[in-house]
Chains A and B, each alone.
Chain A
Amino acid sequence: MSPAQLYVAQRLSAAVLAPLVLIHLGLIVYAIQDGLSAAEILSRTRGNLTWAVFYSIFVIAAAIHGAIGLRAIVSESLAWSRAWLNTAMYGAAVFLSALGMRAVAAVVL
């Protein structure tokens, strides 16, 4: 992807993340306030397609947004070539996606 396309991808992923983060934070507050136990939370999320889709989108958007942001930080801090920057960025995106999807699988499967 070109730097301009990366910029667009980062802005669009931010637009996706903004409402998801607010819903996620609201959910945490709701779960804590309501005193739900871990077992009660899991009983609501397991097999629930809505939460599976919600958090899968969350993970993918965060992986895209974070990986592009890390690329920008590294490009300003280290004199890496563009090829190395892009390799590291794709690596970070895959790594963050794998970690996130593993967590999603743990609560919805």
Chain B
Amino acid sequence: MKQGDKLAVRIWKGGADGGYTEFEAPLRANQTVLDVVTWIQRNRDPGLAYRFACRVGMCGSCAMTVNGKPRWTCRTHVSKVTQDSRLTIGPLRNLPIVKDLVCDMTVFFDKWQNARGRFQGRATRYDDIERIAPDTPARKAADAGIECINCAVCYAACDVVAWKPDYLGPAALNRAWTLQNDIRDTAQAERLAAVAGDAGCHSCHSQQGCTAHCPKSLNPTAAIAGLKRSVFQAVLRGEV
């Protein structure tokens, strides 16, 4: 790479019926895909819509499709995803496009609720903080999936979501599994029933697209397998 080298960038413009527009951006030694999108928005196309917040891989808001794969753009270096100085950047798959690179995340978060992906405790503010042993199998299983940042990369990578739009998806089911392993939670039976339906964990084919693309290196496929085992046992006990 030398001074003055350029990147050829194609960026999705418009809604679902939009198309790719070509831009040229400077190729730098150390730049992320989000840096490139920001440079284009500030220097070539002020109307370009995209979403970001923290820029350090914590908030989960900047995920896009980069050269065909869903990625968190703030932590994806250009040198990692292109060898020929070409980038194609689009909105995430499986979500409605609002404009350009911005997707409507409503259905994604609705599914978290449908999977009862919210903590329901029994303690009040007057109780002491519960002591959780970190080395129990349940806590280890919860910790394995707890670092999800809700970026929807796994949801965009999932073929089952593409085929079956009702499917709750890997992120919501991973969240449900972490709560099933939280000994403080009191809604385990209701949550198991919520993930045992047609749109729930049994729809997963274990293709592991979610696991392959998760920027936090989580394993939603393993979480879903755990839910399948739990539902299996609950059915044999006559509880589901």
- On whether the beta carbons of A76 and B160 are closer than 8 Å, the reply is yes
- On whether the beta carbons of A4 and B163 are closer than 8 Å, the reply is no
Q: Which residues of B contact A77 (CB under 8 A)?
A: 163
Q: Which residues of B contact A6 (CB under 8 A)?
A: 202
Q: Which residues of B contact A4 (CB under 8 A)?
A: 196-197, 202, 231-232, 234-235, 240
Across the interface, A7 reaches (CB within 8 A) one of B160, B164, B232, namely B232
Across the interface, B196 reaches (CB within 8 A) one of A3, A11, A72, A75, namely A3
Distance to closest chain B CB from A83 (angstroms): 12
Q: Which residues of A contact B232 (CB under 8 A)?
A: 4, 7-8, 11
Q: Is A37 an interface residue (CB 8 A)?
A: no
Decide: A7 near B231, CB < 8 A? Known: A2-B240, A75-B198, A82-B198. Answer: yes
Q: Is B228 an interface residue (CB 8 A)?
A: yes
The secondary-structure label for the interface of chain B is helix
Taking CB as reference atom, which chain A residue is nearest B166? Answer: A75
Q: Interface readout for B141-171 with A: 1 if CB under 8 Å, 0 if not? A: 0000000000000000000100110000000
CA A11 – CA B197 in complex, angstroms? 16
Q: Is A5 an interface residue (CB 8 A)?
A: yes
Distance to closest chain B CB from A1 (angstroms): 10
- On whether the beta carbons of A76 and B202 are closer than 8 Å, the reply is no
Q: Which residues of A contact B240 (CB under 8 A)?
A: 2, 4-5
CA A72 – CA B202 in complex, angstroms? 9
Q: Interface readout for B172-203 with A: 1 if CB under 8 Å, 0 if not? A: 00000000000000000000000011101011
Number of interface residues of A (CB under 8 A): 13
In chain A, positions 1-56 with a C-beta closer than 8 Å to chain B are 2-8, 11
CA A72 – CA B234 in complex, angstroms? 21
Taking CB as reference atom, which chain A residue is nearest B195? Answer: A4
Q: Which residues of A contact B200 (CB under 8 A)?
A: 3
Q: Which residues of B contact A72 (CB under 8 A)?
A: 203
Q: Interface readout for B196-240 with A: 1 if CB under 8 Å, 0 if not? A: 111010110000000000000000000000001001101110001
Across the interface, B235 reaches (CB within 8 A) one of A8, A76, A82, namely A8
CA A3 – CA B235 in complex, angstroms? 10
Q: Which residues of B contact A76 (CB under 8 A)?
A: 160, 163-164, 203
- On whether the beta carbons of A3 and B202 are closer than 8 Å, the reply is yes
CA A82 – CA B197 in complex, angstroms? 11
- On whether the beta carbons of A3 and B198 are closer than 8 Å, the reply is yes
CA A6 – CA B235 in complex, angstroms? 10
Q: Interface readout for A73-106 with B: 1 if CB under 8 Å, 0 if not? A: 0011100001000000000000000000000000
Distance to closest chain B CB from A14 (angstroms): 12
A residues whose Cβ falls under 8 Å from a Cβ of B: 2-8, 11, 72, 75-77, 82
Q: A4-B196, A76-B164, A76-B203 are in contact. List 4 more A-B contacts (CB 8 A).
A: A3-B196, A3-B200, A4-B197, A4-B234
